[in-house]
Amino acid sequence: MERIMGGGMLPLVLTSVGVLLLYRILVRLRRGTPMHGAVVVITGASSGLGKECARVFHAAGARLVLCGRDAARLQEVVQELSGSSTDIQHQTFTPNTVVFNLVRADSVEKAAQEILKCYGHIDVLINNAGISYRGNILDTHISVQRDVMETNYFGPIALTQALLPSMVQRRSGHIVVISSVQGKIAIPYRSAYAASKHATQAYFDCLRAEIGHLGIPVTVISPGYIRTNLSVNAVTGDGSKYGVLDKTTASGWDPRDVADAVLKAVRQKSKDVVLAGTVPTVAIYLRTLWPALFFKLMSSRARKEQKHKDE
Ligand SMILES: NC(=O)C1=CN([C@@H]2O[C@H](COP(=O)(O)OP(=O)(O)OC[C@H]3O[C@@H](n4cnc5c(N)ncnc54)[C@H](OP(=O)(O)O)[C@@H]3O)[C@@H](O)[C@H]2O)C=CC1
Ligand SMILES: CCCCCCCCCCCCCCCC(=O)OCC(=O)COP(=O)(O)O
């Protein structure tokens, strides 16, 4: 009787251990790459989505390099993070800061060297900094079109290209860019912004194809409206600040939820992620599948907005 029990128990124990191991492997695969100790660079980290990304990556145990134009505001973020009670599962690290303006090519090059000096390498670059725009094309100075392109497109790609050689050398790293739903569809009175985000999408899609085989994934994240100061900081056709918190922005997604989704996309090395509700998502499909209808809807949207402004 004992013999039968002993003989029956061993396969049972082995099967249980096997199932447990398989379960742990599946959980790990689902969670993706751990962030503990990973060197993560975040641009535009002084506010909005960048600041929330700093919070979630810090809590996940990443070693951060926070970038922005305002040293004092970056230090405030560092203080906030250092004083926050984080997930006790992880040891956390005091973030480094690098102050520079993305639109100045010389300062981007210098900043890239400073960023690399922090830990000697980079695991994840999150190109998050950006500026929006409000205006109609007829009244917009060409210099404004250029400035938005400098901040949202040339700045991030200059930083990416300055940091890329060190990733290629190590055959390791991850490039992330925060684009927008407006990188996939163009809506009226956003020409400079939508154009810069479309260019961003195209550049990083090319980059993914070119460096994927080197073990360096590229993630493009396209959120819908997020509750930040993006509209307040937006520039208008004459270069002045828009200064208004739009209803669409105020009722947008919580930046903390978007930051959590960014962390998930990084861990899972996702290629292209749209973080938006049904209407923008349907609009993206409509632009490809039924462009004539999409263009009609955009014209009618433009006329309505113009009428509203005239009233
Ligand atoms: N809010 C929204 O509805 C959406 C936002 N996005 C994108 O999310 C990203 C973050 O924006 P969000 O947090 O919403 O807006 P915020 O205005 O709060 O943040 C923008 C950040 O970009 C930085 N920045 C702007 N210009 C420069 C520059 N020339 N050089 C360096 N840094 C600069 C700012 O830093 P500084 O402290 O120096 O001013 C700031 O931290 C942007 O790329 C935006 O396009 C995408 C979809 C929707
Ligand atoms: C269910 C039926 C759907 C039919 C689709 C009709 C088309 C509707 C158009 C929808 C347009 C959505 C625009 C979303 C824009 C957006 O989310 O942008 C994100 C940003 O980057 C915000 O920047 P902004 O400066 O514009 O505030």
Residue 86 has pLDDT above 80, yes or no: no
Pocket test for ligand 1, best of 154, 228, 257 (most atoms within 8 A of CB): 228
Residue 4 has pLDDT above 70, yes or no: no
Model confidence at 72, pLDDT cuts 50, 70, 90, reads very high
Ligand 1: centre distance to CA 115 (Å): 19
Query: Which residue, by CA, sits nearest to atom 13 of ligand 2?
Result: 280
CB within 8 Å of 199: residues ≥ 6 apart? 149, 153
**87 against 93, higher pLDDT:** 93
Mean pLDDT, residues 137-149? 98
d(CA 127, CA 153): 10
Ligand 2: centre distance to CA 222 (Å): 11
Model confidence at 22, pLDDT cuts 50, 70, 90, reads confident
d(CA 15, CA 18): 5
Assess whether 193 carries a catalytic annotation.
Answer: yes
Query: Which residue, by CA, sits nearest to atom 13 of ligand 1?
Result: 48
Whether residue 293 has its Cβ less than 6 Å from ligand 2? no
Residue 7 has pLDDT above 70, yes or no: no
pLDDT, tens digit, for every residue of 73-84? 999 999 999 987
Ligand number nearest CA of 46 is: 1
Residue 11 has pLDDT above 60, yes or no: yes
pLDDT, tens digit, for every residue of 175-187? 999 999 999 999 9
Percent of all residues in the chain with a pLDDT value above 90, rounded to a whole number: 85
Mean pLDDT, residues 131-145? 98
Whether residue 226 has its Cβ less than 6 Å from ligand 1? yes
Catalytic residue among 153, 189, 193, 203: 193
The bridge status of strand 63-68 relative to strand 39-42 is: parallel
8 A C-beta contact, residue 152 and residue 159: no
Pocket test for ligand 1, best of 42, 43, 49, 190 (most atoms within 8 A of CB): 49
pLDDT, tens digit, for every residue of 277-291? 999 999 999 999 999
What pLDDT shows up at residue 1? Answer: 38
Residue 85 has pLDDT above 70, yes or no: no
Which helix (H) or strand (E) element contains residue 27? helix 2-31
What pLDDT shows up at residue 293? Answer: 98
Whether residue 279 has its Cβ less than 6 Å from ligand 2? yes
What pLDDT shows up at residue 2? Answer: 45
Residue 257 has pLDDT above 50, yes or no: yes
Sheet holding 39-42, edge to edge: 96-99, 63-68, 39-42, 124-127, 174-178, 218-223, 272-275
Mean pLDDT, residues 105-124? 97
d(CA 294, CA 299): 9
23-37, 72-86, 168-182, 262-276: the lowest-pLDDT one: 23-37
8 A C-beta contact, residue 103 and residue 150: yes
What pLDDT shows up at residue 89? Answer: 65
8 A C-beta contact, residue 203 and residue 211: no
What pLDDT shows up at residue 5? Answer: 45
Whether residue 197 has its Cβ less than 6 Å from ligand 2? no
Whether residue 201 has its Cβ less than 6 Å from ligand 1? no
Q: Which residue has the tokens 């994240």?
A: 221
Whether residue 48 has its Cβ less than 6 Å from ligand 2? no
* Mean pLDDT for the chain overall: 94
Pocket test for ligand 2, best of 133, 148, 282 (most atoms within 8 A of CB): 282
Q: Which residues are bridge partners to 96 per DSSP? A: 65
Q: Sign of the C-alpha dihedral, residues 35, 217, 201, 207?
A: positive
What pLDDT shows up at residue 265? Answer: 98
Whether residue 222 has its Cβ less than 6 Å from ligand 1? no
Q: What is the ipTM of this complex?
A: 0.98
**92 against 18, higher pLDDT:** 92
**16 against 182, higher pLDDT:** 182
What pLDDT shows up at residue 254? Answer: 98
Ligand 2: centre distance to CA 137 (Å): 19
What pLDDT shows up at residue 87? Answer: 55
Give the helix, strand, coil percentages of the chain, each rounded to 5.
Answer: 55, 15, 30
